[in-house]
Chain A
Amino acid sequence: MTPGQRRWIFLAAGTGLVLFYLSGLLGLPAFGSYPGPYGPAILRVAVAQTNATGVVSAINFDYRGFDTVGEEFILFAAATGVAVVLRRLRGERERPAVDEAADRHVPPTSSAVRMVALLFTGPVVLVGWWLASHAQASPSGGFQGGVVLATAFVLIYLSGEFLVFKRFSPADLTDVVEAVGAGGFAALGVAAVLMGLPYLTNFLPLGQVPGAVSSSGTIALISFFVGLEVAAAFILIVGELLEQTLLIRQGRP
């Protein structure tokens, strides 16, 4: 087949695809139109039922809490997988680190980078903590808060050294925190079952003021556990990858 023939076949197929796609676009419902009954129904009852003014969190951690348990364990399994592949296991021997590009110039961290990273570490921890602990009142939640908290540890790495990063996040501690976060979420569901309620029923008192930190029962608690799990999982993944990357650089003066 000559290139010319191929081009004609491509043009014909491409035109067909574009027409097909455009006809599909024209048949779409208007933006924001939602024909299902579930959304309007939940918007009407959510705040009254859960005392959470962050309705997204109420859906994620209460109405559809079972889905979120599954999602959380996806991340848990991913972090575990990274650790299993990259960590040295019993009976495995690690080759001593060899600098494969010894003549390469590694620029030292500039003081500007150090300064900015140091300045941001505190506020980032604060924002992450706020996001993870205010799911009941805002569109935040444990997932976003956890990732932001993990970012603070990356800033610690940027402002200092890998050894400092490791001192702030020892592997044993991140493992435990990750397990507590993931297990706490699942255990809250089991606790409801032990009380004779369906799995992940919101069994805690909902508080008086909607959207207050103490309101919304298990929603706030689950969000907090998710925050722990996500932060630890990201620190673990980034830590393992950093270790791989820096294995070689450690022997340098």
Chain B
Amino acid sequence: MNVLAVHTPYSVPAGMMEALQVTLLVLVAAGATAVVLIRARVRQVLMLSIYGVLLAVLFLAFQAPDVTLSELAVGAVALPIVLLLALAKVRKREE
């Protein structure tokens, strides 16, 4: 059964690629759940950044290296930075 793996000219066996893709899908699902479940805000942002890296690797395994680069830059770095800055501002008001 070849449900997930895309046929490639590379010499990686399709079964291996499929195992990698399924592993990454499970990791992404776990990461997304962790982002929702973590309530401490700064930790939540850090988890979001890790989740961005996981998504980027997932995109790479599904042969979308251009989306991988965008996701790494935006999801893993830029979005967490903006969120951390917003948190720093809000925290000052609250204290």
Interface residues of A (CB under 8 A from B): 30-32, 56-57, 100-101, 104, 131, 139-141, 143-144, 147-148, 150-151, 154, 234, 237-238, 241-242, 244-245, 248
CB distance from B19 to the nearest CB of A (A): 15
Contact of B73 among A100, A151, A242, A244 (CB under 8 A): A151
Residues of chain A lying within 8 A (CB to CB) of residue B6 = 31-32
Number of B interface residues at 8 Å Cβ cutoff, please give it: 23
B78→A150 contact, CB < 8 A? yes
Interface residues of B (CB under 8 A from A): 3-4, 6-7, 65-66, 68-70, 72-74, 77-78, 81-82, 85-86, 88-89, 92-93, 95
Known A147-B73, A245-B85; 10 more pairs at CB < 8 Å: A30-B3, A104-B95, A143-B70, A144-B66, A144-B72, A148-B73, A151-B77, A238-B82, A242-B85, A244-B89
CB distance from B58 to the nearest CB of A (A): 13
With the chains together, A150 CA to B82 CA distance in Å?
A: 12
Residues of chain B lying within 8 A (CB to CB) of residue A242 = 85
B73→A144 contact, CB < 8 A? yes
Residues of chain A lying within 8 A (CB to CB) of residue B82 = 237-238, 241
B86→A147 contact, CB < 8 A? no
With the chains together, A100 CA to B92 CA distance in Å?
A: 7
Contact of A245 among B74, B77, B88 (CB under 8 A): B88
Majority DSSP secondary structure for residues of A touching B: helix
With the chains together, A234 CA to B93 CA distance in Å?
A: 25
Residues of chain B lying within 8 A (CB to CB) of residue A141 = 66, 69
With the chains together, A56 CA to B95 CA distance in Å?
A: 48
CB distance from B27 to the nearest CB of A (A): 18
Residues of chain B lying within 8 A (CB to CB) of residue A32 = 6-7
B77→A100 contact, CB < 8 A? no
B3→A101 contact, CB < 8 A? no
B77→A140 contact, CB < 8 A? no
With the chains together, A150 CA to B74 CA distance in Å?
A: 11
With the chains together, A57 CA to B70 CA distance in Å?
A: 13
Q: Write the chain A residue with the least CB distance to B87.
A: A245
With the chains together, A63 CA to B3 CA distance in Å?
A: 31
A147→B85 contact, CB < 8 A? no
Known: A32-B6, A139-B66. A245 touches B89 (CB 8 A): yes
Residues of chain A lying within 8 A (CB to CB) of residue B78 = 147, 150-151, 234
